[in-house]
Amino acid sequence: MRLSNAFLRLAVVFIVIGVSLGYYMGSTQNFTASAVHAHINLLGWVSMFLYGLFYRAVPSAADGRLPKVHFWFAVIGFLIFMPALLVEVLQIKAALPVAQIGLIVGPTLVVIGMFLFAFIVFGATRTPKGALA
C-alpha cells in the first residue's frame, strides 16, 4: 500500500472516531473529553490527511526509509497519546500511572514525527541550485 493511502485511510478512521466522540459528548452534555476530541480531530484527521495529500502530490517524497519512519512515529505516537490523554482527563485512577508515561512517550513520538515530516517536505521541495524559485 502506498504511504499516501495509509495516511488517508487512517485519517478517515480517526475522523469517524473524533466525530463520534463529539456526537457522544453533545448528546450527553458531558464535555470532559473535549481536549481528546480536539486532538483526535487535529492530529488524527487534519495532520494525517495532510501527510497523505503531500505524499500523494509529491510521490518521490515517499521513497526511502525516512517517510516510513515518519509514518510509524506519527501513528504510534497518536495511538499512545490519545488513550493516555483520555485517561488523564477522565481521571481514571487505576490507569493514571501508565497514562502519565503515555503522555510523555506519545506526544514525543508525534513531535519527532512532525520534525521528520518537516525535513521530508523541505528536502522534497528544495529548489535545485541555480534554478529560480
**Tens of pLDDT, residues 9-37:** 999 999 999 999 999 999 999 999 999 99
Does residue 90 lie in a domain region? yes
Supply 67's cell numbers: 517517510
Q: How many domains does the chain have?
A: 1
Does residue 43 lie in a domain region? yes
Where does the pLDDT of residue 128 fall: very low under 50, low under 70, confident under 90, or very high at 90 and above?
Answer: confident
**What does pTM read for this prediction?**
0.91
Does residue 133 lie in a domain region? no
| Beta-carbon count within 10 A of 71 CB | 22
Q: Write down the pLDDT at residue 41.
A: 97
Domain of 93?
A: 3-125
Which residue from 57, 58, 74 is spatially nearest to 111, judged by alpha carbons? 74
Does residue 131 lie in a domain region? no
Q: How far apart are CA 25 and CA 102, in angstroms?
A: 24
Does residue 132 lie in a domain region? no
Does residue 49 lie in a domain region? yes
